[in-house]
Amino acid sequence: MRRVLLTGFEPFGFIDGNSSWEAVKLAAEHPIEGAVIETVLLPVTFSGAPLSMEAAIEAFDPEVVVAVGQAGGRAAVAVERVAVNLVDASMPDNDGRQPIGDVLVADGPGAYFTGLPLRSCVEAARAAGVPAAESMTAGTYVCNTVFYRLMHLVATRRPGLRGGFVHVPLMPGQSLDGAYPTLSSELAAKAIAAIVRTALDGDPH
Ligand code: PCA
């Protein structure tokens, strides 16, 4: 069986729950022929999140990793193109740490591109009936940290691993005043499953 790892995040900031974890849990229930899916919940901390992700990769030895995060304000599932070697936190993480303008990996390149076949992933999510788009930035908070450290791991130690990052909108109930767009966890999960199938099938880009 081919192995796929999905990661999602715990809640952070002022919003209850985290749509990424709800979507990841549901995505893992989608049947993907010939593949077994493992999920791991990451803390929203600059120190803990990349370590938990790396430990899960060591333990599970997946062929594909799709890391998923919540992005308040987005209306579509966003397949991220680029991870930057920067952390610039607009609010404290769940450890109370707020690094400003720090480099993530001292000797690492300024940026990495996703290892996912970006356009095919977006098309596959749309074909499954879910609004999806390419995104040029995963921000400079914990999600970008996980994305960059994932791509750094691929570049330095795991050349066979295909990985990338996907942001999902808030889910209904997380924006009861209607200030932000929402997407149901079922639809977000459908998009993630479509992205996993595409990553298992396709060539990069
Ligand atoms: N979203 C945050 C961190 C955790 C999450 O789900 C981000 O976009 O950085």
Q: Is the pLDDT of residue 50 over 50?
A: yes
User: What is the distance between the terminal CA atoms of the chain, rounded to a whole angstrom?
Assistant: 25
In short, whether 146's Cβ falls inside 6 Å of ligand 1 is: no
Identify the band that residue 38 occupies on the pLDDT scale cut at 50, 70 and 90.
very high
> What angle do the packed helices 185-201 and 118-127 form, to 10 degrees?
130
- Closest residue to atom 2 of ligand 1, CA basis: 143
Q: Out of 80, 123, 186, 205, pick the active-site residue.
A: 80
Q: What is the mean pLDDT of residues 49-64?
A: 98
Yes or no: say if 85 and 108 are a contact pair by the CB < 8 Å rule: yes
In CATH, 2-201 is 3.40.630.20: yes
- Closest residue to atom 7 of ligand 1, CA basis: 143
Residues 6+ apart with CB under 8 A from 27: 6, 37, 188, 189, 190, 192, 193, 196
Identify the band that residue 205 occupies on the pLDDT scale cut at 50, 70 and 90.
very low
In short, whether 135's Cβ falls inside 6 Å of ligand 1 is: no
Strand 2-9 and strand 64-70: the pairing is parallel
In short, whether 164's Cβ falls inside 6 Å of ligand 1 is: no
Q: Is the pLDDT of residue 204 over 50?
A: no
Q: Which of 135, 23, 14, 118 is nearest to 69 (CA)?
A: 23
In short, whether 139's Cβ falls inside 6 Å of ligand 1 is: yes
Rounded to two decimals, the pTM is 0.97
121 assigned to active site? no
In short, whether 142's Cβ falls inside 6 Å of ligand 1 is: yes
Closest-lying ligand 1 atom to the alpha carbon of residue 18: 6
- pLDDT value, residue 66: 98
Domains of the chain: which residue ranges? 2-201
134 assigned to active site? no
Q: Out of 22, 121, 152, 167, pick the active-site residue.
A: 167
User: Distance (Å, rounded) from C-alpha 114 to C-alpha 104?
Assistant: 17
- The mean predicted confidence, pLDDT, of the chain is 97
143 assigned to active site? yes
